[in-house]
Amino acid sequence: METPIGLMLLKPFWILLLFVNFIGSCSAQEPPASTQNLTSLTLQTKPTSQEASRAITHATVGWNKNLMVDNVPYDLYIPPNYGEVSGYVLPCLLVLPGWNVPRTVSVEKTSLVEYAEQYGYALILPEMGQTLYESSYYPETTRKWYPVPGSKFIKEQFIPTIQQRHNLLKPGQHNTMLGFSTGGRGVALIALENPGLFVAGASLAGDFSQENTPKDRLMTAVYGSFTDFPERWQGKDNPQARVAEWRMPLYLAHSIADDIVPESQSRLFYQALVEYHRDTIRVQYDAIEGAGHGSNFIQGQLDEVFQFIHLQ
């Protein structure tokens, strides 16, 4: 039988039509390759909650100066290599200056910034003025550094603001402290008032048992005279009287030649801590020959300070 010529001509046309429909249906079932890759890239670059919790917020690399917490200025320094050197979670060093010493002195006259970069620590430097890190004011108080007592300000205003604003000084992070002179006293009192928040601290030439210097004019200006108010001098604001509460590893150093704060202040505090806690808490004390009371003394201890706080 012969096939009509018309059917012979239509047969290739139907085959071509079926092929086009098949290709179209396959294309409709698969999204474009470029769209799929873009979606994958977006998912890969979105930070996880763990990554977000390891990030400092509202700050840039380098110096963030003249920030404020309730009219108290502070500076924040973030090293360029932050997060690359240390394996700790958001390592941070709260730096407390001496009595009435500007917060900038410790970075202008020592190599503190270089050490922070070497070890990978952010630096927080509040302007603490003339505070003794007191917990209360009294009718006899003649000198107030700020409307709120220093220890109370740090605990109730400064630390919560830093936590919320910068995601620093939070529980579980590598929070440390360094204080000089009155700032060294501040290290002790802040550790006692915020137990467990700081993993290590360093106190250089601090004072911890004010009853041993009963004629101290600075203490008298806050607490009244020792003769009239011994309970204030030997109570909550006396670190040595609270050694039973102590939890934080501590590095202590004091110059034997210190003519501002007696070396015995650090030595007696160290002895009290060791006597009570034995070897359950790491406490180190270095008595330094002929270093005086100032920036040269601080500079000479920075190596020991960073080795100590970094090992905790």
What CATH number has the domain bearing residue 287?
3.40.50.1820
One domain for residues 236 and 99 = yes
User: Same domain for 143 and 31?
Assistant: no
| 283-230-223 Cα angle (round to 5) | 85
Residue 19, Cβ density class (10 Å: 0-12 exposed, 13-18 middle, ≥19 buried) = exposed
Band of pLDDT at residue 178, cut at 50, 70 and 90 = very high
- Domain match, 23 and 105 both: no
Starting at the earlier edge strand, list the strands of the sheet with 62-69.
62-69, 72-78, 122-126, 92-96, 175-180, 200-204, 250-255, 283-288
Q: Same structural domain for residues 122 and 250?
A: yes
Model pTM greater than 0.95? Answer: no
- Residue 52 in domain: no
- Provide the phi-psi class of 17: left if phi over 0, else alpha when psi is between -120 and 50, else beta: alpha
pLDDT tens readout for residues 264-301? 999 999 999 999 999 999 999 999 998 889 999 999 99
Whether residues 28 and 99 share a domain: the answer is: no
Judge if 111 and 234 occupy the same domain: yes
Mean pLDDT value of segment 139-146: 98
pLDDT of residue 29 exceeding 50 = no
- Say if 199 falls within a structural domain: yes
The one-letter amino acid code at 90 reads L
pLDDT of residue 162: 99
The token duo for 184 is 């060294």
53 domain-assigned: no
**Residue 50 within a domain:** no
Instruction: Please provide residue 211's backbone torsions phi and psi, each rounded to the nearest 5 degrees.
Output: -65, -20
Nearest to 175 by CA among 161, 195, 148: 195
Same-domain pairing of 95 and 139: yes
What is the mean pLDDT of the segment spanning 170-183?
98
What is the number of other CB atoms lying within 10 angstroms of the CB of residue 57?
A: 10
Q: Is residue 51 part of a domain?
A: no
Alpha-carbon gap, residue 212 to 210, rounded angstroms: 5
The token duo for 207 is 């004072």
Whether residues 152 and 178 fall in one domain:
yes
Are residue 23 and residue 136 in the same domain, yes or no? no
**Per-residue pLDDT, 238:** 99
Which band of pLDDT confidence, cut at 50, 70 and 90, is reported for residue 186?
Answer: very high
Pair of tokens at residue 88: 């700790």
Residue 195, domain member (yes or no): yes
Indicate if the pLDDT at residue 156 is higher than 80. Answer: yes
Give the per-residue pLDDT at 54.
80
Percent pLDDT > 90 in the chain is 80
Q: Do the domain assignments include residue 217? A: yes
Are 157 and 31 contained in the same domain?
no
Task: Give the CA angle between residues 196, 201, 203 to the nearest 5°.
Answer: 135
Sign, Cα dihedral of 272, 275, 280, 284:
positive
pLDDT digits (tens, 9 = 90+) for 31-79: 443 333 322 222 333 445 555 568 999 999 999 999 999 999 999 999 9
- Same domain assignment for residues 12 and 147: no
**DSSP 8-state assignment for residue 42:** H
Give residue 50's pLDDT: 56
Residue 291 has a pLDDT of 84
Judged against a pLDDT cut of 70, whether residue 6 lies above it is answered with: no
**What total of structural domains would you count in the chain?**
2
Name which of 156, 170, 179 is nearest 69 in CA terms: 156
What is the per-residue pLDDT for 134? Answer: 99
Cα 283 to Cα 266: distance, rounded to the nearest angstrom: 12
The answer to whether residue 10 scores a pLDDT higher than 70 is no
Residue 41 lies in a domain: yes
Q: Are residues 11 and 159 in the same domain?
A: no
Residue 255: pLDDT band (50, 70, 90) is: very high
Which domain covers residue 38, as residue numbers?
A: 5-45
